[in-house]
Structure 1
């Protein structure tokens, strides 16, 4: 059943390995349908899974990233890119500081002991995070220590700091803005173009972006004119102001003009997300729209996954409502 004028649902993935677009799209839609059912939108479930409620596009840019160890950092490889190492050092430090702030507010003695073990591992001078090999091992050890926090140990998909560091490096690669010898253009422009090429300019949009995808979608939406009924960001590193928000384009950061509503969701056990303060840092668009942040609590393991967020009724409900608008 084709619905004339139906919205286009656009999924934008985040950090991680190479993906299969068809498999990922089915997985995201299934999780979203589960969440919609729990949110009281059982009538939308078949429309989501069978495709008649919305035209769905999964934006896949995972193949564009250089393997860890070629650009950025590797477990055994060397990295001479001082700017990339400095970015990773600043990002890991900001994540650590945020975890410390939360532990202090909650009076969590065990978490404070874990973070107390991590903090001395940071160099006294950020300039020490230069050279090859060793700075990356330092950052990986710090992340391995942080992954011993009770919530992160229970909820993390990373067995150690190395795979997490490799995936955090993708954020730095995107925000680097340099070509690094690529003949096809800068990485960030190539990734944004994948989003723009997926969009039907004749349809209103509902955009759901996860992790690094929230940064990609945020920048891409500034280039689109058609209405975005709803912009959903999940586990978004946009909240890490010092190292991410201050590098996004355009600056100063502003809600894209086409966005009619922006909901930002975070889980307290999602290490990629610092406590969201996006509303305080993001200027409104001409309609006065700013991101509204809501916290969700996921049980079990692997909190920093799109499907964990999409199965939350608080996340899936507004998406179903936006897609059912005529």
Structure 2
């Protein structure tokens, strides 16, 4: 008689620079172990870190963004019209979101900062007079102003708008679906292949995705044939309707067919995340599964990191319980 099947746990990272696969896998596991301890699951700590609770893999696609084009974007000098259009839509959505939050809380200081950032956004007439590079710098300045909102100033890992804008441009590059310069597979195809590489459809697959990785995982799972007991999305831009939702494949967006449960977590001080609307804009799969969104509140700096989310007991608890089934 065969024993229980060890589940697969795949971590899918988001925006940022080059990553060390094994180091990141350890850091995410250590954060999850910390969260599991806080959630009352100290009995599984060794199982997480030593690998007998789940076979854990960190799906690293960061090198795919570090070609010559990406280096130009990092310097703020290489942007086409499609890149600029996406970034303008994304930054405008962030401004609108933070403005709405400021109104809800009657925070006059935050409202004033948001309106200052809004006034810096390029208009239609501006776009006819300036190139993509100048638009990039203008958007960077608007984001720099936006990062002065009190909650973001305490928690954001970006000191100014340009580094944040470069990271956001990775979302646009993924959604751009452009062909490779050498005629090979498009960037988004190669990224999704990294996520599913080595997975075994005969064993349950649990996916924990962060930031841009939530978009990648959502699309990667659409044709996956194995069981997915849990999809967990952290700090996701999927709810950014004007910039992200209508660019997803397939349209209209729906929960991937084999996903049995979808938990989505957001932090109010995470600048990349809009309010939880995913369940309103996502169609259910054939089993009626829709994302369930919960808010977490992190303390200190660098809120938009996967490890911040994984250390939350509300995040780690249901993840560990899914692994133990």
- Give the TM-score taking structure 1 as reference length: 0.95
Shift in alpha-carbon separation, 1:222–1:76, aligned structure 2, 3 A: closer
Return the alpha-carbon distance in structure 2 between the equivalents of residues 68 and 141 of structure 1: 25
Return the alpha-carbon distance in structure 2 between the equivalents of residues 281 and 235 of structure 1: 17
State the aligned residue count. Answer: 323
- Offset of 1:184 from its aligned partner? 2.7
Aligned to 2:92: 93
Return the alpha-carbon distance in structure 1 between the equivalents of residues 253 and 100 of structure 2: 25
- Offset of 1:127 from its aligned partner? 6.9
Aligned to 1:22: 22
SS in 1 for 2:206: strand
Return the alpha-carbon distance in structure 1 between the equivalents of residues 148 and 69 of structure 2: 26
- Give the TM-score taking structure 2 as reference length: 0.95
Return the alpha-carbon distance in structure 2 between the equivalents of residues 254 and 208 of structure 1: 18
Runs of 4+ with >2 A deviation = 66-76
**Contact 2:205–2:227 (Cα < 8 Å) also in 1:** yes
Shift in alpha-carbon separation, 1:282–1:156, aligned structure 2, 3 A: same
Return the alpha-carbon distance in structure 2 between the equivalents of residues 276 and 127 of structure 1: 32
Query: Structure 2 stretches of 5 or more lacking a match?
Result: none
Shift in alpha-carbon separation, 1:23–1:70, aligned structure 2, 3 A: closer
**Contact 1:59–1:198 (Cα < 8 Å) also in 2:** no
Return the alpha-carbon distance in structure 1 between the equivalents of residues 68 and 317 of structure 2: 37
Return the alpha-carbon distance in structure 2 between the equivalents of residues 85 and 72 of structure 1: 14
Aligned to 1:56: 56
Aligned to 1:303: 303
Shift in alpha-carbon separation, 1:47–1:104, aligned structure 2, 3 A: same
- Aligned positions of 1:141-180 closer than 5 A: 141-180=141-180
Whether 1:103 aligns to 2:109 is no
Return the alpha-carbon distance in structure 2 between the equivalents of residues 62 and 74 of structure 1: 14
- Offset of 1:170 from its aligned partner? 0.2
**CA RMSD after TM alignment:** 1.7
- Offset of 1:66 from its aligned partner? 4.0
Shift in alpha-carbon separation, 1:15–1:151, aligned structure 2, 3 A: same
Query: Structure 1 stretches of 5 or more lacking a match?
Result: none
SS in 1 for 2:229: strand
Return the alpha-carbon distance in structure 2 between the equivalents of residues 126 and 94 of structure 1: 20
1:49-103, Cα deviation, whole Å (9 max, x unpaired): 1100000011000000145865873445243x10111100110000100000000
